Amino acid sequence: MRTMPNSALHDRKSTDGMFRQNRFFRFRMFPWRFCFPARFMFILFCLMGCGAAFGEDKVTRILPEKLGDVLPRLSGDDMVTTTAAKVYQIAQDFDLTRLPVLVILVLFAVFFFVLQRRAKQGREVALRRLAGIDAIEEAIGRATEMGRPVLFIPGINDIDDIQTLAGISILSHVAFIAAEYDTPVIVACRRSVVLMISEEVVKQASLAAGRPENYIPNNMRYLSDDQFAFTAGVNGIMLRERPASCIYQGCFYSESLILAETGFVSGAIQVAGTANVAQLPFFVAACDYTLIGEEFFAASAYLSQEPPILASVKAADWLKLVILPVIILGIVLATIAALGGTAAMKPCSDLLELLIEVL
């Protein structure tokens, strides 16, 4: 039976250092080579968000109404009157109900590009280490001690799903650690494109770890495009080959409980991660550890250390810090209005009307 020294299992800093310093290993394959089109699409979505603020909805027209009140009072200056008329015409097409979406998109874009530039310059974009990463490494360590393989499933969706990309990024780390410990990794895929990318990821990870022989082509398995035929195939792998650890990282649907229950029956340590809220209760109930929602994407960013991924996760955190005080302020104002009536809110409404008239 193969054994693993305790120092190799518990020395997390050395493992992280090797993982990050090896530029050949860092996941620079198919999904992230299209970063320019991804940026183009991001800018396009921002512009669409800007356009979403201009609509046909007539529910809220605060700005046009106030300008309609102010416009007749502007006299004696043709330039001022003409400018105000143009502003009034633009304001007629502006829907304030969609303005928060525009503001959030602009803030996120600014945060993203600032953080991405900082990461590319070599400055630290800190993400805390998640307990789920430790659970994954402990699961690989147990498989090494037992001399049995690790089963990894990168979800059931195709490569165009962001959860599949995050799962493959985590697969690169799993394959690297497993190659260091000379532990075979079985990857079960539902889509052929995901299989091809997984093969390359595991192969490059084994080369980076200095153990190219750890890559076994027969362990990269395409089962079926059908959802439950794929599930039955995975269950067969669990019961026949008895993997010591089962790692589910990606998008899962109704097959999640079937997979987790079969893994539990086989006696495997199970670590799951998904952003599908409806499947989280099943994974939490049947698995030893679960990466919940954003933890799943944060773990992928932490392990890959790619500037665009780090920037996107950190920008979302910064955006929450901006939105949270606004939510708290809204709660306070709503509470004041509920306790004191409309009279208590009149100073706030007067201030808002003054700001709108100035605009």
Q: In terms of pLDDT, which residue wins out, 207 or 341?
A: 207
Residue 243 in this model has a pLDDT that exceeds 70: yes
pTM of the model: 0.67
Domain membership of residue 303 as a residue range: 6-29+127-309
Instruction: Report yes or no on 292 lying in a domain.
Output: yes
Rounded to whole angstroms, how far apart are CA atoms 176 and 173?
Answer: 5
Rounded to whole angstroms, how far apart are CA atoms 200 and 152?
Answer: 15
Instruction: Report yes or no on 16 lying in a domain.
Output: yes
Instruction: Report yes or no on 228 lying in a domain.
Output: yes
Instruction: Report yes or no on 180 lying in a domain.
Output: yes
Instruction: Report yes or no on 64 lying in a domain.
Output: no
| Closest to 173 in 3D by CA, of 4, 1, 10, 12 | 12
Counting residues of the chain whose pLDDT is more than 70, the rounded percentage is: 66
Q: Which value, to the nearest 10 degrees, does the dihedral of the CA atoms of residues 144, 145, 149, 155 take? A: -70
Instruction: Report yes or no on 328 lying in a domain.
Output: no
| Closest to 19 in 3D by CA, of 172, 153, 149, 182 | 172
pLDDT in tens, 172-205: 999 999 999 989 999 999 999 999 999 999 999 9
Predicted pLDDT at 349: 61
pLDDT in tens, 10-43: 444 444 444 444 433 444 443 443 344 444 444 5
H or E element in which residue 189 lies: strand 185-189
Instruction: Report yes or no on 332 lying in a domain.
Output: no
How many separate domains does the chain show?
1
Rounded to whole angstroms, how far apart are CA atoms 233 and 224?
Answer: 8
Highest mean pLDDT among 6-10, 117-121, 206-210: 206-210
Model confidence band, residue 8 (pLDDT cutoffs 50, 70, 90): very low
Q: Which of 69-73, 120-124, 195-199, 289-293 bottoms out in mean pLDDT, i.e. has the lowest?
A: 69-73
Q: In terms of pLDDT, which residue wins out, 21 or 157?
A: 157
CATH code at position 210: 3.40.50
User: What does pLDDT average to over the chain?
Assistant: 75
Instruction: Report yes or no on 242 lying in a domain.
Output: yes
Question: Could you please report the per-residue DSSP string of 241-297?
Answer: H--SEEEEES---TTHHHHHHHHHHTT-EEEEEES-GGGHHHHHHHSSEEEETHHHH
Model confidence band, residue 84 (pLDDT cutoffs 50, 70, 90): low
- Please state at what angle helix 62-70 crosses helix 78-92, rounded to 10 degrees: 160
For the residues 266-285, what does the mean pLDDT come to?
A: 91
| Closest to 179 in 3D by CA, of 222, 147, 208 | 208
pLDDT in tens, 59-81: 334 444 444 444 444 444 444 45
